């Protein structure tokens, strides 16, 4: 969406605070021995208490309040009572929701407890790249140039990017124009970021895979070449200068 009224900015700030608060609380609540369904129900209760509706459930009929992906799962992991969290797991939580006609999206990967499987470097790289990418976004910048930056920084750190998962416009719906804010350079994408528009920018930094494939459950995505993926995401408002990071309070950069 393009923000033209103060009421629209306020609406986006409110729903963004909801999803950011939920993501942060879920990350802090996660512990070894807990099922992903328990963690999802915890987050779902926060959304309900704040009057928001789960975006993936509302839009796609997703079987969970939030997406929780563990270890080799890239994205869209289904919360399950049979999937138990363990020390050192690489966990990704993606929280998106709607409130009063406004939609916001954010996500983040983290290592649960001690980094026994050495995932922290991947997580830190994803965080750093997202921070650098967002710092370069302003009205008039080519979307493809941000994809080039993300891919270049990933390769410099010894990683790859997932090419078929992208950031997107957001605001009055979960997915709006621009429909693809890719993690790589697409020379055919001539689109530019527009001042006052709202977008969800996300990194998908990978140790091995470049494509995410859908598993038999119809939702869970895993990499075509295995390995692990870290994702971090913020919803932002584009300006002539530094973007307004609406979901900053989720603390994914802390």
Instruction: Determine the Cα–Cα distance for residues 123 and 126; give it in Å rounded to an integer.
Output: 5
List helix spans (H) across the chain: 6-29, 36-49, 55-60, 120-135, 143-156
The reply to whether 29 sits in an annotated binding site is: no
Q: Which helix (H) or strand (E) segment is 211 a member of?
A: none
Contact 104, 247 (CB under 8 A): yes
Distance CA 57, CA 148 (A): 32
Structure-token match 């140039």, residue found? 145
Check whether 232 is labelled as a binding-site residue: no
Find out whether 76 is annotated in a ligand binding site.
yes
153 has binding-site annotation: no
Residue 217 is labelled as binding a ligand:
no
248 annotated as ligand-binding? no
Whether 176 has a binding-site annotation, put simply, is no
Structure tokens at 143: 């979307």
Q: What are the binding residues for a divalent metal cation?
A: 94, 105, 168, 202, 233
Q: What are the binding residues?
A: 76, 94, 105, 168, 175, 202, 233
Q: What are the binding residues for substrate?
A: 76, 175
């Amino acid at each position: 969406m393009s923000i033209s009224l103060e009421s629209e900015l306020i609406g986006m700030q409110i729903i963004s605070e909801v999803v950011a608060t939920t993501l942060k609380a879920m990350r802090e609540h996660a512990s070894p021995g807990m099922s992903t369904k328990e963690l999802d129900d915890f987050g779902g209760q926060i959304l309900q208490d704040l009057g928001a509706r789960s975006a993936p459930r509302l839009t796609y009929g997703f079987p969970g309040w939030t997406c929780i992906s563990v270890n080799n799962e890239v994205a869209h992991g289904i919360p399950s009572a049979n999937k138990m969290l363990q020390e050192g797991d690489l966990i990704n939580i993606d929280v998106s929701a709607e409130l009063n006609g406004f939609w916001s999206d954010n996500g983040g990967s983290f290592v649960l407890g001690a980094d026994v499987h050495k995932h922290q470097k991947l997580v830190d790289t994803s965080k750093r790249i997202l921070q650098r990418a967002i710092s370069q976004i302003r009205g008039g910048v080519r979307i493809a140039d941000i994809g080039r930056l993300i891919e270049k920084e990933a390769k410099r750190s010894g990683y790859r990017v997932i090419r078929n998962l992208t950031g997107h416009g957001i605001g009055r719906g979960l997915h709006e124009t621009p429909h693809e804010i890719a993690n790589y350079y697409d020379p055919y994408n001539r689109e530019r970021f527009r001042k006052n528009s709202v977008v969800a920018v996300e990194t998908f930094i990978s140790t091995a895979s470049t494509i995410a494939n859908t598993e038999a459950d119809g939702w869970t995505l895993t990499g075509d070449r295995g390995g692990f993926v870290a994702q971090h995401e913020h919803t932002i408002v584009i300006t002539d200068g530094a973007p307004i990071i609406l979901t900053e309070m989720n603390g994914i950069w802390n």
